[in-house]
Amino acid sequence: MPLNKPPIHFDLLDFFTQDNPLLQFTFDTLPVPIFCKDINGIYLDCNRTFEEFIKISRQELIGHSVYELFDKALADAYQQADQQLFDNPGVQIYEKQIRTNLGDTVFVKFHKTSFCDEKGNVAGLIGVIFDITEQKEIEQKLIKNATFDTLTGFYNRRHGTEIAMEKMALAIKKEIQFAIVMIDIDHFKRVNDQYGHSAGDTALQHLSAIIEQLIEPEEAVVRWGGEEFLILISAPIEQKKFRRKIIERANYLRESIFSKPIFLEQNTLTLTVSCGVSCYTEQSLRELINEADAFLYQAKHQGRNQVCG
């Protein structure tokens, strides 16, 4: 976005278009990509770092517009940002994902400043590009780790709770119906004891892959802890027999898991799960989860591999 700073008022246009070895030497020794354009969007000059970064030579660049050098979508984005700066002279800073001339995708931060001619009219801009690709990758990893469980790929408990609270808020306003299905792998300790914890991780990933294939758009899956999962399910307020449909849905997931065995150390292992279903009827979120948990243990006590709710 343009910042409210006064534009540069000396004649950079002549400065850039002159054969100035000192300027070019200074440009080329700077470690960040630098470029300049006139008011019509024509490139006037760039430094060697810019050539290496964008993968376009100075000879190919100077005298051409973005529409002659990049695909239309990218050129439109560049031109629009430049025009915003010309319409609001000063400093403009923004981040963008771009492609080099060789097709490499990078994240950059543009820092551009408009300049004026001797009459005080906006004549062009000079821009600096900072490569923030590594920074963005780190940010994405941090966001992912804060949101998802690394083993299963489902939402972690913290973010799952946030989603549940959002759905609860809609349910309280009677905009949706909301239910929780709590799923727990039966005799999971035996898997770890017999085959080792790495096999236990494999079993969790196996179950997660099955659920992932069957999940519906209105459902969110949370790894609640250990071998326990929550499925958060919402439906339109006018849907009838909601509880029955949720129990049917839980049984479908349970049967699908049972029907797909996992192979561990040349052995076939059939996983079963017990499920507890709780539907929102003006409880708090804690009460809703506790109710699902109580129904889950009822299913366990009644023989496992079943749904209670």
Find the range with the poorest average confidence among 191-205, 209-223, 247-261: 191-205
* The pLDDT of residue 266: 78
Q: What is the mean pLDDT of residues 4-23?
A: 54
Q: Which fold has domain 2-137?
A: Beta-Lactamase (3.30.450)
Nearest-angstrom CA–CA distance, 196 and 150: 19
Q: What is the mean pLDDT of residues 25-47?
A: 89
Nearest-angstrom CA–CA distance, 240 and 123: 66
What number does CATH give the domain 148-308?
3.30.70.270
Record the tokens describing residue 97, joined without a space: 């994902």
* The pLDDT of residue 9: 45
pTM beyond 0.75, yes or no: no
Answer yes or no: is pLDDT of 162 > 80: yes
Nearest-angstrom CA–CA distance, 280 and 112: 53
Tell me how many degrees the CA angle 66-112-131 measures, rounded to the nearest 5.
Answer: 80
Q: What is the mean pLDDT of residues 287-295?
A: 96
Q: Which amino acid is at 100?
A: T
Where exactly are the structural domains of the chain?
2-137, 148-308
Residue pLDDT, tens place only, 175-189: 999 999 999 999 999
Residues annotated catalytic, as ranges: 227
Q: Can you list the positions of beta strands (E) in 13-103?
A: 34-38, 43-46, 91-99
Domains 2-137 and 148-308 share a fold: no
Nearest-angstrom CA–CA distance, 42 and 17: 12
End-to-end CA distance of the chain, in Å? 54
Half-sphere exposure of 151 (CA within 13 A, CB side): 20
- Taking each helix axis from N to C end, the angle separating 242-258 and 197-214, rounded to the nearest 10 degrees, works out to 130
Residue pLDDT, tens place only, 81-110: 999 999 999 999 999 888 777 777 889 999
Nearest-angstrom CA–CA distance, 134 and 177: 42
pLDDT band at 8 (very low <50, low <70, confident <90, very high): very low
